[in-house]
Amino acid sequence: MALKLYNSKTRTKQDFAPIDPARVRMYVCGPTVYDFAHIGNARPVVVFDTLYRLLRLNYGADHVIYARNITDVDDKINARAREENVPIADITARTTDQFHADMAALNALPPDVEPRATGHIAQMIAMIESLIARGHAYAADGHVLFHVPSMPDYGRLSGRNVKEMLAGARVEVAPYKRDEMDFVLWKPSDDQTPGWNSPWGYGRPGWHIECSAMSLAHLGETFDIHGGGIDLIFPHHENELAQSACANGPGTFAKFWMHNGYLMVDGKKMSKSEGNFRTVRQLLDKAPGEALRLQILSTHYRQPFDWTDAGTREVKTVLDHWYRLVDGVTADAADIPATVRAALEDDLNTPLAIAEMHRLAHAAGQGAPDAARQLRAGGEFLLGLFGMTADQWLHWQPPGKALDEAAIQARIDARIAARKAKNFKEADRIRDELVAQGIQLEDGPTGTLWKVLS
């Protein structure tokens, strides 16, 4: 079955055919590194990681190139460095490390290239020069601005009507702008703010130009997929598209635009003032990263997602079950279940894919060995699950908390002895004692196993 993807540009589901099957190119907007990644940052990473895995399967791992940037020059970073009174590089290095660790915990593969904005200043300057030369940008008052009326198609990607937007605009217009909609490509820096020398003086790039410059540098003028959150469609992606298409020529840039839906927490927009702000780091204290991953995938990527703790508990229960079924089972690519794969190939229908996984789990639970292999293959090769053993999974503890497994085993042995002596009162007492510590015992045919209650 052919891969179909919803293209935000055309607002339809289309058959995906790469420009060059030997080099399938995907660019996803990565984080601005100034603080811990929140669960809203994790959604596009997990969604596009799932797509990345599927593309690698379809075209070969060596024929897919996935670029996800790190934006390490931004006024939010500058503000944070000032607050903490540390060098900017400290903030960006620390936050980048945290981001990598958190995304790895979610079983997200690292991208093939991870360009940094500060490493591409020269490319940004070159692109700005090209925009000026082509009449799409102008220098004014130390700034360089993109002239929006120079691009007739502006607003098409995000479905905005420029005139209507201006009618409802609440922003003050800077005096140096020729048009209210014009946006900054380059802006001046003072001594306290990071900057680089440029034809327009000492300064730093505007928000959108880094993605245009980096996608060009690593993927070329035209590439296959551009992804990110729907909140970025305006102004970020609209402006990226404007810059790139005007600098490189009409018709260049991404063939497919993909946007994941918004993320809410407990039914509301996540924000610090609402008290429902969740970092990935905080959530990894409640459940293993794979559970968070499956939770993210349990809603179709284009739908709004409502994050709840109850949802986390539910996927944890599901994975407890699946892990038991695939324990000791090995699978190879031949076991990849066609049903799960077909669901993913239909615009990444992960909820349907998970439903097909449940069907396999049902069959595996009845003792079908091929179903167990397919379940494992579906998790391992498609959804990015089963990265640990069943024991590791069932014994999982939040980072920093270590269980004394030897002590638990000693209690289990004592209980086995009591049971052999038919002293059930003592056996039950030991079991209750362990339950009070969050340890659940399971008497099976091969002996007594235990798991951590969640």
Partner RNA sequence: GGUGACGUGGCGGAAUGGUUACGCAGCGGAUUGCAAAUCCGUCUAUCCCGGUUCGAUUCCGGGCGUCACCUCCA
Which residues from 101-160 bind RNA, rule CB under 7 A? 159-160
Name the residue with tokens 């004394």.
404
Residue pair 244/226 in contact (Cβ under 8 Å)? The answer is no
Residue 133 vs 282, nearer CB to RNA: 282
**Residue 429 touching RNA (CB under 7 A):** no
**Is residue 442 part of the contact set for RNA (CB under 7 A)?**
yes
**Residue choice 142, 188, 235, 387 for contact with RNA (CB under 7 A):** 235
The length of the chain is 454
Closest CA to 45 of 33, 36, 56, 37: 37
Q: Which span (41-49, 91-99, 133-141, 144-152) binds RNA, by CB under 7 A?
A: 41-49
> CA of 312: how far to CAs of 219, 283, 306, 363, 454, in Å?
37, 9, 11, 25, 10
CA distances to 415, 416, 427, 449 from 423, rounded to whole Å, are 9, 10, 6, 20
**Candidate residues 44, 115, 203, 379; the one interacting with RNA per rule CB under 7 A:** 44
Q: Show contacts with RNA in window 316-375 (CB under 7 A).
A: 317-318, 320-321, 324-325, 349, 351-352, 354-355, 358-359, 361-362, 365-366
Tell me the DSSP string of 206-245: -SSHHHHHHHHHHH-SS-SEEEEEGGGIIIIIHHHHHHHH
Q: Is 328 left (phi over 0), alpha (psi -120 to 50) or beta?
A: left
* 61, 89, 169, 338: which one binds RNA (CB under 7 A): 169
Q: How far is the CB of 154 from RNA (least distance, A)?
A: 13
Token output for 266: 């407990």
Q: Which residue has the tokens 């279940």?
A: 337
Distance CA 337, CA 357 (A): 9
CB of 14 to RNA, least distance (A): 15
Residue 439 in tokens? 């340890």
Nearest approach in angstroms of CB 351 to RNA is 3
Which residues within the stretch 172-211 sit at the binding site for RNA (CB under 7 A)?
207
Which lies closer to RNA via its Cβ, residue 11 or residue 401? 11
Name residue, tokens 């289990």.
Answer: 412
Complex with RNA: residue 63 or 194, whichever CB lies closer: 194
Contact positions with RNA (CB under 7 A) in 45-104: 76
Q: Which of residues 295-314 bind RNA (CB under 7 A)?
A: 298-300, 303-306, 308, 310-311, 314
**Residue 407 C-beta: closest distance to RNA, Å:** 19
Please identify, using beta-carbon distances, which residue of 130 and 454 lies nearer to RNA. Answer: 454
Segment near RNA (CB under 7 A), from 25-33, 127-135, 190-198, 331-339?
Answer: 25-33
- Interface residue with RNA, options 1, 199, 269, 433 (CB under 7 A): 269
Q: Which stretch binds RNA (CB under 7 A): 79-87, 105-113, 396-404, 439-447?
A: 439-447
- 167 backbone φψ class: left, alpha, beta (φ>0; ψ -120 to 50): alpha
Q: Which of residues 239-268 bind RNA (CB under 7 A)?
A: 260-264, 267-268
Q: How far apart are CA 215 and CA 30, in angstroms?
A: 12
* Shortest Å distance, C-beta 63 to RNA: 26
Q: How far apart are CA 448 and CA 339, in angstroms?
A: 36
Among 58, 130, 440, 454, binds RNA (CB under 7 A): 440
